[in-house]
Amino acid sequence: MQELVLNPPGRTMEGDAAKQAERISVREEFELRLGECGPLAFRVAQGVLRNAADAEDVAQETLLRAYRKFHELRRPARFRSWIVRISFRLALDRWRARKRREIRETTWSQPISGAALPSTEEVVCSNEFQARLERALDELPEKLRLVVILAAIHGHTLEEVSCSLGIPMGTVKSRLFFARKQLAEKLR
Amino acid sequence: MNCLLAREKMKDAFAAGLPPPQEILVHRENCPGCQAFYLRAENLFALLEAGLHGMVNRPVPTSLLPRVRAALDQAPVLRSFWVPGWRFAALASTVVLVVSLGVLAHYELRRDAVPQPTPLASLGAHQPATESLANAANPSTRGITPRNTASASHVQVPRPESEVIVSAEEREAFARYMVEQSTPKSMTVAVVPTAEADNQPIEIALLQIEDLEIKLLESMPAE
């Protein structure tokens, strides 16, 4: 008995094979960059969110978005920059949502007595600076914050920051200078 | 050197990640206050760098890449949607054409809506004769102009009720007149003083027409 296969008009077996081949080639090309850019996306998100689970989610979302729009990337040299921007934007969105939620929850569940949680002197001392640093970092303008985070990534030179953001080296240096100065002023 | 200036330069040097200039180092040696400030600033920037590095360089979770790969297997790759340039051109020209025609039609309609002088002979049976006749013949009714009296100069469209345009300053008086009058609107005309009599009180009067006879003007050919 002969098996009949219905193909929608305009769709052929050759077309399917071509699409499959294209998909495989895109996937291979993306895989080449994944090993390098996955950690980068995670670290950028971690710098903004300071929470490993959230940063992992953001990194995954970043890489998925990049994969879906991979065909729109005209200049492969800009892939790192692209990933950094997507990750930073997504992390900022999540950070803002978290802030809003925290404010809402704090407003509704504020204890009446307002008593602070007791903690040992040592814990306070060790966490205080980090907490102040995080607050100061959150208050930095986005441009400065991104440069500070990228420059703080281990083994990331200023040239790489410049390439990642697609901005001149001098701009990176000046942004880093102003960012550090502002942070120091806030932490003094 | 001024201590404030020296301290500012120290902060700049630390923020830029450069060693302080020689003159600052010399000043620091001679100024105990600036020396203490230098140590504090050095410590602060070192803490800052350490804090930032610790914050960013957390170990990447080993589950990240497998998670991403699993998600990629299910994610479709969107193909670029390419539309040839001539299609854009055709679409754009169509839009421009439609908009132009719309604007043209709008102006045509507005031009047609402007009231034009009506020949007396063209007043038909459907036109409220008294109102148009009074408006056309009586110079004292210049403030009251019938709207759409003759959009097509010789074709009279029957209207259920005549309309009268009243200027802003005459509106109140006209409203009073409309309340007071009891005769059908088609048989009445509000006569309002013109602009030269602004200081005088507004007079409202009914125009009583006992008999109406429509004649052709001598210069107009008989239809």
Same-domain check for residues A135 and A175: yes
> pLDDT, tens digit, for every residue of B66-83?
888 888 887 765 555 555
Q: Which residues of B touch A147 (CB under 8 A)?
A: none
CB atoms closer than 10 angstroms to residue A187? 16
Q: Is residue A78 part of a domain?
A: yes
Q: List the beta strands (DSSP E) in B116-191.
A: 144-146, 164-166
**Whole-angstrom distance, CA of residue B182 vs CA of residue B177:** 10
**What's the domain range around A148?**
131-188
Enter the ipTM: 0.71
Tokens representing residue A61 in the block: 């979302």
Same-domain check for residues A138 and A184: yes
Question: Between B139 and B195, whose confidence is greater?
Answer: B195
Q: Give, in order, the Cα–Cα distances in Å from B77 to each of A22, A28, A152, A169, B110.
A: 9, 13, 33, 35, 54
Say if residues A147 and A179 touch (Cβ distance below 8 Å): yes
Quickly state the pLDDT bin for A59 (edges 50, 70, 90). Answer: very high
**Whole-angstrom distance, CA of residue A176 vs CA of residue A148:** 6
Burial bucket for residue B101 (CB in 10 Å: 0-12, 13-18, 19+): exposed
Same-domain check for residues A90 and A21: yes
Q: Is residue A147 part of a domain?
A: yes
Q: Is residue A24 part of a domain?
A: yes
What pLDDT does A62 receive?
Answer: 92
Secondary structure (3-state) at B190: strand
Assess B41–A contact: CB distance below 8 Å, yes or no.
yes
CATH number at residue A141: 1.10.10.10
* Interface contact flag, A47 B68, Cβ < 8 Å: no
Q: Which helix (H) or strand (E) holds A57?
A: helix A52-68
Q: Which residues of B touch A27 (CB under 8 A)?
A: 72, 77
Q: Is residue A104 part of a domain?
A: no
Q: Is residue A124 part of a domain?
A: no
* Interface contact flag, B56 A47, Cβ < 8 Å: yes
CATH number at residue A22: 1.10.1740.10
Same-domain check for residues A19 and A93: yes
What pLDDT does B200 receive?
Answer: 63
Same-domain check for residues A152 and A76: no
Whole-angstrom Cα Rg for chain B: 44
Bridge partners of residue B190, in order along the sequence? B206
Q: Give, in order, the Cα–Cα distances in Å from A171 to each of A47, A142, A144, B39.
A: 20, 14, 10, 29
Say if residues B117 and A109 touch (Cβ distance below 8 Å): no
* Interface contact flag, A134 B55, Cβ < 8 Å: yes
Number of domains in chain A: 2
Secondary structure (3-state) at B165: strand
pTM of the prediction? 0.54
Nearest-CB residue to B60 (from A42, A47, A134)? A42
Nearest-CB residue to B60 (from A27, A39, A68)? A39
Assess B63–A contact: CB distance below 8 Å, yes or no.
yes
**Whole-angstrom distance, CA of residue A147 vs CA of residue A45:** 13
Q: Is residue A150 part of a domain?
A: yes
Domain boundary among A83, A99, A115: A99
Q: Which residues of B touch A22 (CB under 8 A)?
A: 77, 79
* Interface contact flag, A133 B48, Cβ < 8 Å: yes
* Interface contact flag, B57 A152, Cβ < 8 Å: yes
Q: Is residue A108 part of a domain?
A: no
C-alpha distance from B51 to closest chain A C-alpha (Å) = 7
> pLDDT, tens digit, for every residue of A88-126?
999 999 999 988 888 877 766 555 444 444 445 555 556
Same-domain check for residues A20 and A95: yes
Q: Give, in order, the Cα–Cα distances in Å from B141 to each of A37, A170, B204.
A: 85, 80, 11
In this structure, what are the phi and psi dihedrals at residue A17, rounded to the nearest 5 degrees? Answer: -65, -40
Same-domain check for residues A86 and A141: no
Q: Is residue A3 part of a domain?
A: no
Under 8 Å CB-to-CB from B55, ≥6 apart: which residues? A46, A47, A50, A130, A133, A134, A137, A152
Same-domain check for residues A84 and A141: no
Q: Which of A133, A149, A150 to mutate to test the interface with B (most CBs of B within 10 A)?
A: A133
Nearest-CB residue to B48 (from A63, A154, A187)? A187
